[in-house]
Amino acid sequence: MTTAPLPDPAGDSALLRLDDVGKTYRSGNLEVEALRHVTLSVAAGDYVAVMGPSGSGKSTLMHILGCLDVPTTGTYLLAGEDVSTMREDQLADVRNRRVGFVFQQFNLLPTMPAWRNVELPLVYAGMHRAERRERAVEALARVGLADRVDHRPGELSGGQQQRVSVARALVTEPTLILADEPTGNLDSHSTEDVLSLFHELHDQGRTIVLITHEHDVAAQARRQVQIRDGRLLDATLAGAR
Which CATH topology does 14-236 take?
A: Rossmann fold (3.40.50)
- Report the C-alpha gap between 210 and 197 in whole angstroms: 13
- Report the C-alpha gap between 62 and 120 in whole angstroms: 21
| Cβ-contact 111, 179 below 8 angstroms | no
Return the closest-CA partner of residue 231 out of 48, 56, 50.
56
3-state secondary structure labels for all residues of the chain? CCCCCCCCCCHHHEEEEEEEEEEEEEECCEEEEEEEEEEEEEECCCEEEEECCCCCCHHHHHHHHCCCCCCCEEEEEECCEECCCCCHHHHHHHHHHHEEEEECCCCCCCCCCHHHHHHHHHHHCCCCHHHHHHHHHHHHHHCCCCCCCCCCHHHCCHHHHHHHHHHHHHCCCCCEEEEECCCCCCCHHHHHHHHHHHHHHHHCCCCEEEEECCHHHHCCCCEEEEEECCEEEEEEECCCC
- pLDDT at 76 > cutoff 90: yes
Mutual angle of helices 129-142 and 114-124, in 10-degree steps: 120
Please report which confidence band the pLDDT of residue 5 belongs to, taking 50, 70 and 90 as the band edges: very low
- Report the C-alpha gap between 147 and 51 in whole angstroms: 35
Q: Where are the domains of the chain?
A: 14-236
* Greater model confidence, 236 or 168: 168
Tell me the whole-structure pTM to 2 decimals: 0.87
Residue 103 has a CB neighbour count (10 Å cut-off) of: 18
How far from each other are the two terminal CA atoms of the chain, in whole angstroms?
A: 36
Phi and psi angles of residue 216, each rounded to the nearest 5 degrees, phi first: -70, -30
Whole-Å CA distances, 85 to 56, 70, 205: 24, 7, 29
* The predicted structure's pLDDT at residue 233: 86
- Report the C-alpha gap between 43 and 17 in whole angstroms: 9
86-144: pLDDT as tens digits: 999 999 999 988 999 999 889 999 999 999 999 999 998 888 999 999 999 999 999 99
Please report which confidence band the pLDDT of residue 12 belongs to, taking 50, 70 and 90 as the band edges: low
* The predicted structure's pLDDT at residue 239: 46
Please report which confidence band the pLDDT of residue 4 belongs to, taking 50, 70 and 90 as the band edges: very low
